[in-house]
């Protein structure tokens, strides 16, 4: 029996078969590429964490340098209590591994309150001193901004920082990812002489060089600068209880 290729039935059946075939191919491709995507995300995250402590890493050596420099990984709750601890290699399927906490996803989730979120903290060994690294996430002008800040063992002095964005304006807010913006954070203090948390302010215009709690904002990128400012203040506020309980801030000024 000859098939009428001009009939509506043939066209309909052919379209269904094509949808099935293309869907199966795309599904197979997605499943095949997923392990590579997971690996790429892990390596990128490791590179960003290492950058905050001044370790220059790339895709080829990210894991090696991460395990050589990062000693412990914690999840804290909103009151600063440690609720999960991990050392050694990262297991991508371990939901209780602090490395696997998606702070950007949790921050965007409207069903989660600050008390319900998880707060990772990484402990690195740098020149014989323990350095704490915390992730940041906030809002810029056009979309999310994020980064990592490393604090010296006094939980007060910034050892290093790096920031990134998704859709900020090139030449303006997008400059937060440049070293000229993040480097001035090094050496700044997040507590004042009385032990009060004051964060580090991103100042519109020029910050006074002798001010230990301020850095220059981005000219023309006021909203993004304000986003970084808010992100820092809010995040330090969450970790404040942990910092206070694990160091005598006021004695280390």
Above 70 in pLDDT, residue 10?
A: no
* Nearest alpha-carbon partner for 160 in 188, 125, 138, 141: 188
pLDDT tens readout for residues 211-234? 999 999 999 999 999 999 999 999
Residue 205: per-residue pLDDT: 81
Residue 231: per-residue pLDDT: 97
Share of the chain above pLDDT 90, in %: 74
Residue 85: per-residue pLDDT: 96
Per-residue tokens: 39: 């690996």
Residue 22: per-residue pLDDT: 80
What integer is the mean pLDDT of 127-140? 94
What integer is the mean pLDDT of 50-56? 96
Per-residue tokens: 203: 């100042």
Measured over the CA atoms of residue 231, residue 88, residue 66 and residue 154, the dihedral's sign is positive
- pLDDT band at residue 118 under the 50/70/90 scheme: very high
How far is 209 from 112, CA to CA, in rounded Å? Answer: 39
From 12-26, 67-81, 118-132, 169-183, the region with the lowest mean pLDDT: 12-26
Q: Is 96 helix (H, G, I), strand (E, B) or coil?
A: coil
Above 70 in pLDDT, residue 200?
A: yes
What integer is the mean pLDDT of 32-54? 84
Above 50 in pLDDT, residue 197?
A: yes
Residue 253: per-residue pLDDT: 41
Residue 33: per-residue pLDDT: 54
CA distances from 197 to 22, 120, 152, 186 (A): 56, 20, 15, 17
HSE (side-chain half, CA atoms, 13 Å) at 33: 7
Count of beta carbons in the 10 Å neighbourhood of residue 78: 16
Residue 30: per-residue pLDDT: 65
Per-residue tokens: 179: 């070293």
| CB contact set of 30 (below 8 Å; sequence gap of 6+) | none
Residue 163: per-residue pLDDT: 97
Per-residue tokens: 232: 């820092």
User: What is the overall mean pLDDT for the chain?
Assistant: 90
CA distances from 61 to 99, 160, 161 (A): 18, 20, 20
Backbone angles phi, psi at 76, to 5 degrees: -105, 155
Above 50 in pLDDT, residue 249?
A: no
Residue 2: per-residue pLDDT: 59
Look-up: residue for tokens 């010296």?
152
Residue 34: per-residue pLDDT: 60
Above 50 in pLDDT, residue 251?
A: no
């Amino acid at each position: 029996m000859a098939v009428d290729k001009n009939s509506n039935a043939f066209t309909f059946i052919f379209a269904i078969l094509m949808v099935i075939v293309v869907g199966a191919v795309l599904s197979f491709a997605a499943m095949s590429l997923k392990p590579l995507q997971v690996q790429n995300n892990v390596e990128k995250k490791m590179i960003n964490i290492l950058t905050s402590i001044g370790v220059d890493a790339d895709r080829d050596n990210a894991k090696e340098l991460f395990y050589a420099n990062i000693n412990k990984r914690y999840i804290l709750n909103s009151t600063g209590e440690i609720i999960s601890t991990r050392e050694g290699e990262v297991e991508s399927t371990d939901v209780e591994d602090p490395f696997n906490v998606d702070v950007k996803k949790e921050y965007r989730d409207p069903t989660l309150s600050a008390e319900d979120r998880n707060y990772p903290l990484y402990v690195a060994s740098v020149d014989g001193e323990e350095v704490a690294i915390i992730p940041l996430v906030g809002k810029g002008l056009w979309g999310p901004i994020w980064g990592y800040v490393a604090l010296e063992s006094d939980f007060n002095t910034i050892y290093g920082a790096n920031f990134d964005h998704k859709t900020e304006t090139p030449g303006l807010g997008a400059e937060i990812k440049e070293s000229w913006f993040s480097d001035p954070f090094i050496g700044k203090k997040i507590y004042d002489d009385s032990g009060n948390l004051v964060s580090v302010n991103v100042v519109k215009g020029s910050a006074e060089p002798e001010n230990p709690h301020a850095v220059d904002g981005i000219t023309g990128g006021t909203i993004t600068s304000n986003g970084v400012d808010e992100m820092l203040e809010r995040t330090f506020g969450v970790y404040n209880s942990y910092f206070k309980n694990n160091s005598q801030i006021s004695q280390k000024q």
